[in-house]
Structure 1
């Protein structure tokens, strides 16, 4: 009898073991997918960050023993005016030490324009045709342009060719961002958190690597070439690490669905990182008219995010190089590099915190960022802050506001938009940050020239 009992129970035991193994495998796959999306964010955004961190050096390429893009170190000032320096005497009070600062003939906003305009065009056009391109081809295009960007900028001996490299970085970043945000719609909302955290990591990693490696003596040329490691890592993350769901290869037709199909994504950590078949059935192709109509409800998210990016990139590419403190341990170009690092640290912290803190009140972030801009602009004009450490703290807040605006926008969209509209909506919403950056870049050039005229 006992033998019969054991024989009867064996299928149940087998089922329990199978369920345990299945659960273990699912957890492993979930971890791999989360890790893959973190690497997507890191590697895709790194070229963009490196170009902005190197903007000061790109505008002054000079052949030298350390490579074609090696630059002459910024002069240490000891109270005497150096050749090429310009002084802010008309704005400073007579009892203050005159501010010595170097203004590039073309501000770093020129690099920002080259780094964002191609990205914007891609984001505006891609949602209307990219769904017809397989994800593997999209990722390969991203990788090719990323590699080209680093190689061209590193080997260039003239500014215009360096800018071609920056344009390649912009194409890579824009194509990659819209690709990976659309890809995230095939997974749970948790992938948005890890993607955003990865982009924050790209900011800190890129800015810190560039500032740190150049500070210890590595030439800008070799530093940029070293970044090719991350281009290779991007391919590894997509083609090997990511578990590809069936939905990214299926061409699904529009179907009538039962009213009980819910568009809400479960935000619990235990939710699957690959969408199920029932959800996959409601994915569909929209007509051009339907796509244009879907943009209207997204404006409530896109406009605040666009304003956040306008304010923060105006600060970064117009004010950073003029926020100069002459009596510190850092010369001017080093101050610019470390402003970028601190800003990116703030971005990383806030983009990684959405699972701990989330708000749908996106409009609060442009308000905070606008206040930050006003404070730093006043510092450029009136030099009222006694220490560079105060500016460091304000720039950290700037990064926190910018990163929070980004991650909360996309996290809200992926939770509130219908399943069949989610992939398209994520791609369209990504246009708003690029629009904000373009506005900042276009305004930064004349404002930079005006502020520099005050230093004459």
Structure 2
């Protein structure tokens, strides 16, 4: 064997041995469990949000702009994302948060299902929205407890993919059960949040499971300046709750200093929701017949079917774009992060989680960055209400009154 060939063979063996040992180790199973768990976290945390958006036509009177549903579906979430990272001091009690979010989501959906009045339904939507916002920052912060950073990045990637799948699953679910009405359809969806605590307790591996993980393709791209260490737990948490160690809690001033440079880099608005909530409700046409359209004649049975159909089509492509990391595509460079606000390729959370930082600083960043997307949706929902009414008036002026029949 030639000398250089021997060197190549030796290099191949040196790389293959740890890879093969990993493939048949418990850590590989733990990585799969982590991926599935964070995918389910993203899916269930966002699915109620999509169901509410898809059911907007059925939740408000015909004369009420559908953008009001989007507003109440996102505004309380913003309150949670904006206030909680600044209110929080000391360690994060993940078990208490997740159980609290689950209970609040279930309560909100039951209120929506059981109510007939608009104000009570909006209150229920607000409860579910607050739980979703708090849940999102909790899961992103939870990802920072895993080490090395590549494992945390894997969790973030699958969480983003789960949020994309939530759009597809939520829109499809409402398309299928909308015939049952709001009371039964929304009521059935209220059981979905129970998946989150079950996933946390039964599926998610503990952070220390990856403490010895060493692979050529899984090395830290941005090592932290401090290690992740479980804090002593209280009796009530009984070994299932972990958090981050830091000698002193971050002050409000320190948190603001961390947030300021993130504003221009990560916080791009999601104004496609203006189209989603302001334009899509007015895209109605006469109900097609089987003779005029053999395909849509089987799908569209009334003009109220158009809006949930647009939601289903829209959310299908959102799922693909938000799964870019879990599908193996490389993360965007930091300077290209404004692009995802247009194409919905969600890499901002991944990049924020990979930046060098103290453990508690990284957790705060991951919790605070979710405010960006929500602010964009809030602005879009405010713009969507007058947009929908103006478009409908323009259609009526041209002799098309279908939008008034919704």
Q: In which range does the TM-score fall when normalised by the shorter chain?
A: 0.7 to 0.9
CA distance in 1, matches of 2:155, 2:137: 14
Q: How far apart in 2 are the matches of 1:213 and 1:37?
A: 26
Find out whether 1:161 has 2:125 as its counterpart: no
SS at match of 1:279: coil
Aligned counterpart, 2:72: 114
2:332 to 359, 377, 385: 359
Q: Given the alignment, which residue of 307, 325, 331 partners 1:336?
A: 307
Partner in structure 1 of residue 105 of structure 2:
146
Deviations 1:111-130 (A, max 9, x none): 11111111101111111133
Q: Alpha-carbon deviations, 1:136-181, whole Å to 9, x = none?
A: 0110111011111221111112221111111111011111001101
In structure 2, distance between residues paired with 1:454 and 1:22: 61
1:434 aligns with 2:374: yes
2:208 pairs with 1:208: no
Question: Which stretches in structure 2 are left out of the alignment for 5+ residues?
Answer: 1-16, 147-151, 230-243, 289-296, 397-406
Measured in 2, the distance between the counterparts of 1:230 and 1:144 equals: 11
Shift of 1:414: 1.4
Partner of 2:329: helix, strand, or coil?
coil
Displacement of 1:210 in angstroms is 0.6
Q: What is aligned with 1:294?
A: 258
Which secondary structure does the structure 2 equivalent of 1:208 belong to? Answer: helix
Alpha-carbon displacement from aligned partner over 1:174-233 (angstroms, at most 9, x marks no partner): 11001101111112200011101111111110110111222xx43332222222332121
Counterpart contact for 1:182–1:423, Cα < 8 Å: yes
2:322 is the counterpart of 1:322: no
The answer to whether the 8 Å contact 2:279/2:391 transfers is no
How far 1:326 moved relative to its partner? 2.2
Match of 2:351 in 1: 412
1:26 paired to 2:27: yes
Match of 1:11 in 2: none
State the distance in 2 between where 1:321 and 1:161 align. 23
Partners in 2 of 1:322 and 1:448 — Cα distance? 7
- Residue 452 (structure 1) aligned to one of 368, 392, 396: 392
Q: Residues of 1 paired with 2:48 and 2:366: CA distance? A: 22
- Residues 22 and 362 of structure 1, relative CA distance in 2, 3 Å threshold: closer
**Residue 279 in 1 paired to residue 227 in 2?**
yes
**Alpha-carbon spacing, 1:271–1:334, altered in 2? closer, same or farther (3 Å):** farther
- Alpha-carbon distance in 2 for matches of 1:326, 1:337: 16
Quote the Cα distance in structure 2 between the aligned partners of 1:318 and 1:347. Answer: 18
Q: 2:47: which partner in 1?
A: 46
Instruction: Check the 8 A contact 2:42/2:159 in 1, yes or no.
Output: yes
Q: Aligned-pair distance for 1:332?
A: 2.5
TM-score (ref. length: structure 2): 0.76
Whole-angstrom distance in 1 between the partners of 2:118 and 2:180:
20
Taking a change above 3 Å as real, the CA distance of residues 327 and 33 of structure 1, as seen in their structure-2 partners, is same
1:63-82 matches, within 5 Å, as none
Residue 49 of structure 1: how far off its partner (Å)? 1.0
Whole-angstrom distance in 2 between the partners of 1:338 and 1:221: 21
User: Which residue number in structure 2 is paired with residue 380 of structure 1?
Assistant: none
In structure 1, stretches of 5+ residues that fail to align are 1-15, 61-103, 248-264, 370-400
Count of aligned residue pairs for this structure pair: 335
Give the number of the structure whose alpha-carbon radius of gyration is greater.
1
| Shift, 1:427, TM fit | 1.0
Corresponding residue of 2:3: none
The verdict on how the C-alpha distance between 1:291 and 1:278 changes in structure 2, with shifts beyond 3 A counting, is: closer
Root-mean-square deviation (Å): 2.8
Which residues of 2 match residues 52-63 of structure 1 at below 5 A?
52-60=53-61
Counterpart-to-counterpart distance in 2, 1:339 and 1:31: 33
- Change in Cα spacing, 1:241 to 1:276, as seen in structure 2 (3 Å) is farther
- TM-score (structure 1 length as normaliser): 0.68
Q: CA deviation at 1:278?
A: 5.8
Aligned residue for 1:225, secondary structure, equals helix
Distance across 1 between alignment mates of 2:362 and 2:185: 39
Match of 1:196 among 149, 153, 160: 160
Question: Do 1:321 and 1:332's aligned partners in 2 also have CA atoms closer than 8 Å?
Answer: no
